[in-house]
């Protein structure tokens, strides 16, 4: 039972489309670059010219296999491609090459971490299948509104036509919006770890549809609605919540749920009917006669399995064992910073200290400046150096943050030590240098010194402040305090 649904249980299954980041398209040699001028990455094959034939992209099949194995699925020894026939202007051939009866991957699973009552717990979501298909072009409606309705004319950009896509279909195992969100985030983390996709929702390189239904606990599955246009992890959660409440309301009012596709309106925060399922096209699936059966051997599958890197779940377990708090570990993994952490540890830093920096200050500064971690040139060695400089008192934590900022800004060309030296940001811990400043401060403030000597402990604060000002904050506060005490007491005689 779902607590906020008053007597109903929420049931969700997700269909996630992952656009592979192969250099070339699924069936031709065109580039897959995002954001190029319309119709510049287009050839006879992906624009559906008469006589052009598809030839499978081996890399895409490899990447699909890799993701299938990462999800614990079985790889079909023989599988084939079907044609899904429907007319749509952005579909160059008016059929999409997809997989139908025999997908490349079946029966996987995904373990996700969900926060419940302030604690992270593990949930398992089953994966029914993963199949390969091709992306379509993109319709552009030119005119006042930018939508089909009221547009002066329409244009089509086929740059995306034929880009390899993987569709990952979950079982309806999800019982709350948080698990759905965690599933999507986890899948994003996995494809990024594998390097098979950028998985950027805002660029459409990962897209998610949600099948939502509600039922009385123990009853058969309710009629589902498919929610489209979910453009972020946040909208996925909001849309599921709205849709569940809508369905419960319909049922409570004695109505019935109609199987349909619904569109999530992000601004209004509601789902709306897009099309009814009973009028949906008959796709007339049949095996694509331009392609031959794809076969693989268990040896070939094992060779791909051997390429699997450490996956997020294993990394989480490892970080936990190293003493990294779960929340910080999650941030490090989601930010694609595990490699940095491992490099820093290899360079001698402690995992919790590095994780603290990565999950805190590094993440904070990156998001404030809206830059990607890869663009900064930050290395594990830099991080290890930074942690060591704080540990040995060379940098105060305030200065360390400034040093980090400078390293990020400088594109990682100079490490923390070089940056600190160049900008004079190292702490002055040297007794001779600090002593000279302190002697001046004590001499210039005889009243304060006298107050300290008279037992007013707090009076020393003003003197510390003077030393800090004089050193532009570079004085080691603890050592300053000690030396000040000595100097004041020595001045007594």
Binding site for other proteins (CB under 8 A): 44, 47-56, 83, 85, 87, 89, 92-95, 154, 156, 282, 284-286, 289-292
Judged by beta carbon, residue 68 or residue 137, the one nearer other proteins is: 137
Gyration radius (Cα) of the chain, Å:
30
CB of 175 to other proteins, least distance (A): 33
Angle at 307 between CA 167 and CA 196, to 5 degrees: 35
Pick the closest to residue 131 from 16, 267, 43, 255 (CA basis).
16
Please state the closest distance from residue 127 (CB atom) to other proteins, in A: 26
Min CB(49)–other proteins separation in Å: 7
C-alpha closest to that of 437 among 461, 458, 417, 465: 465
Residue closer to other proteins by CB (options 49, 249) is: 49
129 Cβ neighbours under 8 A, 6+ residues apart: 73, 103, 105, 106, 107, 168, 169
DSSP-assigned letters across all residues of 300-345: HHHHHHTT----HHHHHHHHHHTT--HHHHHHHHHTT-HHHHHHHH
Residue 174 Cβ, how far from other proteins at the closest point, in Å?
Answer: 29
Residues 130, 67 contacting (CB under 8 angstroms): yes
With respect to other proteins, which residue has the nearer C-beta, 94 or 486? 94
Report how far residue 19's alpha carbon sits from residue 165's, in angstroms, rounded to the nearest whole number.
4
Number of H helices, E strands in the chain: 16, 16
Minimum distance of other proteins from residue 51's CB (angstroms): 4
Distance CA 162, CA 52 (A): 13
Is the Cβ of residue 9 or residue 135 nearer to other proteins in the bound state? 135
- Closest CB 315 distance from other proteins, rounded Å: 39
Q: Which two tokens stand for residue 448?
A: 């304060």
Quote the CA–CA distance of 291 and 81 in Å, as a whole number: 7
C-beta of 83 vs 474, nearer to other proteins:
83
When the beta carbons of 29 and 446 are compared against other proteins, the nearer one is 29
The full DSSP string for 207-219 is: EEEEEEEEE-TTS
Nearer to other proteins, 156 or 333 (CB): 156
Residue 82 Cβ vs other proteins, minimum distance, rounded to whole Å: 10
Q: Which is nearer to other proteins, 90 or 198 (CB)?
A: 90
CA 379/CA 367 separation, integer angstroms: 18
Comparing CB distances to other proteins, the nearer of 92 and 174 is 92
Cβ at position 301, least distance to other proteins in Å:
21
Of the CA atoms within 13 Å of residue 21, those in its CB half-sphere come to 15
**CA distance linking residue 114 with residue 104, whole number of Å:** 29
Q: What are phi and psi of 317, to 5 degrees?
A: -65, -40
Task: In angstroms, give the least distance from the CB of 270 to other proteins.
Answer: 27
How, if at all, do strands 164-170 and 119-134 pair?
A: antiparallel
Residues 6+ apart with CB under 8 A from 482: none
Measured from the CB atom, is 217 or 289 closer to other proteins?
289
**CA neighbours closer than 13 Å in the CB half-sphere of residue 319:** 29
Closest approach of other proteins to the CB of residue 292, in Å: 6
Virtual torsion, Cα 264, 265, 271, 272, nearest 10 deg: -110
| Helix H or strand E encompassing 139 | strand 138-142
Smallest distance, other proteins to C-beta of residue 100, A: 12
Q: Using the minimum distance from each CB to other proteins, give the nearer residue, 136 or 271.
A: 136
């Amino acid at each position: 039972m779902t607590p906020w649904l008053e007597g109903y249980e929420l049931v969700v299954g997700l269909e996630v489309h992952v656009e592979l980041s192969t250099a070339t398209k699924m069936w031709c040699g065109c580039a897959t670059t995002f954001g190029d001028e319309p119709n510049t990455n287009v050839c006879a094959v992906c624009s559906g010219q008469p006589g052009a034939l598809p030839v499978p992209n081996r890399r895409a099949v490899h990447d699909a296999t890799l993701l299938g194995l990462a999800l614990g699925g079985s790889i079909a020894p023989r599988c084939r491609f079907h044609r899904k026939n429907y007319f749509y202007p952005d579909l160059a051939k008016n059929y999409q090459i997809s997989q139908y009866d025999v997908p490349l991957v079946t029966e996987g699973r995904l373990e996700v971490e969900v926060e419940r009552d302030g604690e992270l717990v593990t949930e398992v979501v089953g994966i029914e299948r993963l199949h390969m298909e091709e992306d379509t072009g993109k319709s552009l409606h030119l005119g006042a509104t930018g939508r089909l309705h009221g547009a002066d004319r329409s244009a089509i950009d086929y740059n995306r036509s034929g880009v390899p896509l993987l569709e990952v279909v979950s079982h309806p195992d999800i019982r709350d919006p948080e698990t759905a969100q965690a599933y999507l985030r986890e899948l994003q983390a996995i494809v990024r770890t594998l390097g098979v996709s950028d998985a950027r929702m805002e660029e459409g390189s990962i897209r998610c549809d949600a099948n939502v239904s509600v039922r009385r606990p123990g009853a058969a599955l309710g009629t589902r609605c498919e929610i489209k246009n979910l453009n972020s992890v946040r909208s996925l959660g909001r849309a599921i919540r709205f849709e569940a409440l809508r369905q419960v309301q319909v049922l409570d009012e004695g109505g019935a749920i109609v199987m349909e596709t619904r569109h999530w309106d992000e601004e209004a925060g509601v789902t709306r009917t897009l099309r009814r399922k009973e009028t949906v096209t008959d796709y007339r699936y049949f095996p694509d006669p331009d392609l031959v059966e794809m076969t693989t051997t268990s040896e070939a599958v094992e060779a791909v399995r051997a390429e699997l890197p450490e996956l997020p779940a294993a990394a989480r377990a490892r970080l936990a064992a190293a003493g990294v708090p779960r929340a910080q570990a999650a941030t490090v993994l989601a930010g694609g910073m595990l490699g940095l952490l491992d490099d820093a540890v290899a360079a001698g830093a402690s995992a919790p200290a590095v994780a603290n920096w990565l999950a805190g200050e590094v993440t904070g500064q990156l998001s404030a400046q809206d830059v990607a971690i890869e663009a900064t040139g930050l290395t594990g060695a830099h991080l290890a150096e930074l942690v060591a400089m704080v540990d040995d008192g060379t940098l105060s934590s305030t200065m360390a943050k400034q040093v980090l900022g400078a390293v990020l800004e400088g594109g990682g060309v100079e490490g923390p030590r070089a940056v600190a030296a160049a900008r004079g940001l190292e702490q002055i811990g040297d007794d001779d240098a600090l002593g000279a400043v302190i002697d001046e401060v004590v001499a210039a403030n005889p009243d304060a010194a006298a107050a300290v000597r008279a037992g007013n402990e707090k009076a020393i604060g003003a003197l510390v402040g003077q030393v800090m000002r004089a050193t532009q904050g570079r004085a080691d506060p603890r050592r300053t305090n000690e030396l000040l005490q000595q100097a004041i007491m020595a001045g007594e005689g």
